[in-house]
Structure 1
Amino acid sequence: MTGARPQQGTRPPSAAPEPSTATCLDRIGSHMTPVQKVGQLFVAGVRVRPGSEGTMAASLAALGNHHVGSVILMGPSGAGASAIKAVTERVGLLGQTVGESRVAPLVSTDQEGGQVQPLRGPGFTDIPPALAQGGWSEQRLRRQAAQWAAELHGAGINLDLAPVADVVSSGMGRANGPIGRYDRQFGYTAEAVSGHSAAFIEGFRQAGVLTTLKHFPGLGGVRGNTDTTAQVTDNVVGRDSRDLTVYRQGMAAGARFVMVSLATYTRIDPARQAVFSPVVIEDALRKDLGFDGVVISDDLGNAAAVQSMPPAQRALAFLRAGGDLVLTVNAEHIPAMTAAVLNAERDQPALRARVEASVRRILAAKKATGLIHCAD
């Protein structure tokens, strides 16, 4: 999700599991039921706003029924780290015992800074917007990012849907609806954004929190915000664009997740939105840049950009295009989405193979951040 409502390539380090890890993940995969595997492919919204306790309890119960393996905490909340820790402990009950191993959930949020910082209050630093962070040295940003990540880690959060890797030109500036309007970019050149994105990622790695480069292949050249606008189109970014070097460097810095945008890129695939395009995901991201981590969608729940398609079809189209992790901030879509995948894979070997590969990538990321403990 863009999060902009106020409130030949380098492989990522350790992307390929070590032999002992591979054995562990193979064993878990062999013990998982089809329903459990499909559940791992989804991250659903959980409200942590004041007064949302009843809704949260019902939502977590429903997610447990569908074996959902990841959540995103939706603010704004000013209750502080202790209150969020109490929430993440409840979210932890979504973890599953598979064979003799425990698979805990990924707990994520959009903690970028500035107007996109859903978690505030005691225990959370007020993070400046990325444009201000971009004025710091990379060393300072790396140090500050490690502190922010340690705060999230202490509150039970293990995945941040940041940093923003979009390059907004100085000519576009605040006319860029999803990024520039909210000062979410680190700077106005690919070089500036690359160095600071990498520093952010490295700081988070120090604290053991996973990061997400977004929004591939870039929202810096558009005017409309896909959260609130349909048919957002970019006519500039191509597979050879310099802006994509930001993703290459972020992967080298250790980003295990890349979020794909909901815009359409006429120079890459004019027929489909990026999130539903195998040309964008399989060719531009995986083949050109060598990414073998987890590909997560931008919001396929409430975003205006996908409302013309039924929720179940959104999930299937993303997975068929090569995506791994379906994000929906609207947890009410989970039953229809998971059922659609389960029904389709029964007689579609190609989809079933994609599900297996996606589950493996997600489990590898979980293992890397300590969410899987194997009985070796």
Structure 2
Amino acid sequence: MPTAGRQRGTAALLCLLTALATACSSSSPSSPRAETTTPNSAPAPETPGPEDRVDDVLTGLDRRSQVAQLFVAGVPLDDLASGDAIAQAGVGGLFMAGRSELPATDLAAIAARWQSLSPGPDLWVAVDQEGGAVQALRGPGFEPLPSALAQGVLPPPELAALAETMGASLASAGISLDLAPVADVVPPGTEAANEPIGSFDRQYGGTAEAVATAAGTVVDGLDRSGVTATLKHFPGLGLVDANTDTTADVTDPVTGPDDPQVTLFAELADSPADPFVMVSSATYPRIDPDEQAAFSPAVVTRLLREQLGFEGVVISDDLGNARAVQDVPPGDRAVRFLAAGGTLVLTVDPALVPEMIDAVLARDAADQSFAATVDEAVRTALLAKEGAGLLPG
């Protein structure tokens, strides 16, 4: 559909051509050419860019509404009606948690209802759709997906087609964000001991090169279908022996900041598809001996953003129900993640969102430096929505 600027430019051009044609037909060859002048016309207004559209949205949001954009809240797939109230709270997104056999058409209707209830920009509607053991949506409209390990050995054209088909099925259900693919590297022979990833065949291969190739193909395939991908779990869960969802004090004593399983995230994130990066809640002593990754400025800001150059959305792993974060008060989880350089707080437990927002607002009011960090996170979050077509205009 032509823009207003293009329509005005076309109209002006037609008027000018008409005037020139009339002048030519009314003059005789023997008549001296009359000098004509055209009135100065104002240049057509420039089409608003992404930053302009973000500015427009920000002017319509009070501070609490801005901060709410930094939260993605879980909604159980067996109780999707409970998402209505969360959508009305103006959060940035909703995460369909669990497993479902509902048809894609039913999910699309629910997602559309959530969008209509949201008082702010359109919501991210997210899901875990990896394949194999981690395929949240299995009803009509969703093909059975092989595990990531099986996907990783497919010829690239087949994997690209599979990823695009997976993305198309998600988009048809109103889902705009897939919390996939896993970009963790599990060394061959250690799969059974790697509880969160290798034991479920969630890895695309046993080397950084293999994972980068396959996961990159999935990112691009999802993008071609209009779904944003999420690279997880930075700086990697391929060398741990416990699951942060169910275990406290999960530690990876091996991974360092320059290891290939870390730097591959930069390679994958440097994509026109603009994938998100999810940060784990394990601890990496060779990077930061004191803080879990999700709460670590050394991991999120100095490594991911500064050393590896990632400027996009950093989303947390679950900061709601995960056992790894239960020793930290909920409000502090959100504050510390954002202070570390994160963008979107994911909490599977939606009941924690008000407490988390209150904590962020309290710190925001008391700490000018933190307030500037929140400003940057809100802008990053909204720019991602603009790129995904979730902002008005």
Q: Is the pair's TM-score, using the shorter chain for normalization, greater than 0.5?
A: yes
Q: Which amino acid aligns with 1:140?
A: E
How do residues 44-63 of structure 1 correspond to structure 2 at under 5 angstroms?
Answer: 44-49=73-78, 52=79, 56-63=80-87
Q: Which amino acid aligns with 1:328?
A: T
Contact (CA 8 Å) 1:301, 1:333: kept in 2 or not? yes
Query: By how many angstroms is 1:306 displaced?
Result: 0.4
Query: By how many angstroms is 1:255 displaced?
Result: 3.7
Aligned mates of 1:59, 1:140 — CA distance in 2: 36
User: 2:225 corresponds to which residue?
Assistant: 207
Paired residues in the alignment total 346
User: 1:87 corresponds to which residue?
Assistant: 110
Query: By how many angstroms is 1:144 displaced?
Result: 1.0
Contact (CA 8 Å) 1:269, 1:277: kept in 2 or not? yes
Contact (CA 8 Å) 1:109, 1:159: kept in 2 or not? yes
Contact (CA 8 Å) 2:212, 2:264: kept in 1 or not? yes
Contact (CA 8 Å) 1:69, 1:94: kept in 2 or not? no
How do residues 68-79 of structure 1 correspond to structure 2 at under 5 angstroms?
Answer: 68-79=91-102
Aligned mates of 1:308, 1:368 — CA distance in 2: 36
For residues 32-87 of structure 1, what are the alpha-carbon distances to aligned partners after superposition, in whole Å with 9 as ceiling and x for unaligned?
210110110000001122xx2xxx4344314523x212010012101121121122
For residues 296-318 of structure 1, what are the alpha-carbon distances to aligned partners after superposition, in whole Å with 9 as ceiling and x for unaligned?
00000000000111111111111
Indicate the SS of the match to 1:367: helix
Indicate the SS of the match to 2:380: helix
Aligned mates of 2:207, 2:384 — CA distance in 1: 30
Contact (CA 8 Å) 1:69, 1:95: kept in 2 or not? no
Look at both structures and tell me which one has the larger radius of gyration over its CA atoms: 2
Contact (CA 8 Å) 1:260, 1:296: kept in 2 or not? yes
Query: By how many angstroms is 1:31 displaced?
Result: 2.7
Aligned mates of 1:62, 1:189 — CA distance in 2: 41
User: 1:348 corresponds to which residue?
Assistant: 367
User: 2:336 corresponds to which residue?
Assistant: 317
- Worse-superposed segment, 29-38 or 317-326: 29-38
Contact (CA 8 Å) 1:168, 1:189: kept in 2 or not? yes
User: 2:54 corresponds to which residue?
Assistant: 25
User: 1:279 corresponds to which residue?
Assistant: 298
For residues 287-342 of structure 1, what are the alpha-carbon distances to aligned partners after superposition, in whole Å with 9 as ceiling and x for unaligned?
11110000000000000000111111111111111111000000010111111111
- Worse-superposed segment, 337-346 or 208-217: 337-346
Aligned mates of 1:145, 1:232 — CA distance in 2: 31
User: 1:136 corresponds to which residue?
Assistant: 154
Contact (CA 8 Å) 1:109, 1:118: kept in 2 or not? yes
User: 1:15 corresponds to which residue?
Assistant: none
Query: By how many angstroms is 1:265 displaced?
Result: 0.2
Indicate the SS of the match to 1:210: coil
Q: Which amino acid aligns with 1:194?
A: A
Query: By how many angstroms is 1:348 displaced?
Result: 1.1
Query: By how many angstroms is 1:94 displaced?
Result: 4.0
* Residues 59, 84 of structure 1: alpha-carbon distance in 2 compared, 3 angstrom cutoff: closer
- Structure 2 residue corresponding to 1:263, chosen from 249, 271, 282: 282
Contact (CA 8 Å) 1:69, 1:105: kept in 2 or not? yes
User: 1:9 corresponds to which residue?
Assistant: none
Indicate the SS of the match to 1:45: strand
Q: TM-score, normalised by structure 2?
A: 0.86
Q: Which amino acid aligns with 2:197?
A: I
Query: By how many angstroms is 1:95 displaced?
Result: 2.9
User: 2:376 corresponds to which residue?
Assistant: 357
Query: By how many angstroms is 1:256 displaced?
Result: 2.8
* Residues 106, 62 of structure 1: alpha-carbon distance in 2 compared, 3 angstrom cutoff: closer
- Worse-superposed segment, 191-200 or 27-36: 27-36
Indicate the SS of the match to 1:29: helix
Aligned mates of 2:383, 2:317 — CA distance in 1: 21
Aligned mates of 1:186, 1:209 — CA distance in 2: 20
- Structure 1 residue corresponding to 2:307, chosen from 288, 299, 312: 288
Q: Which amino acid aligns with 2:378?
A: V
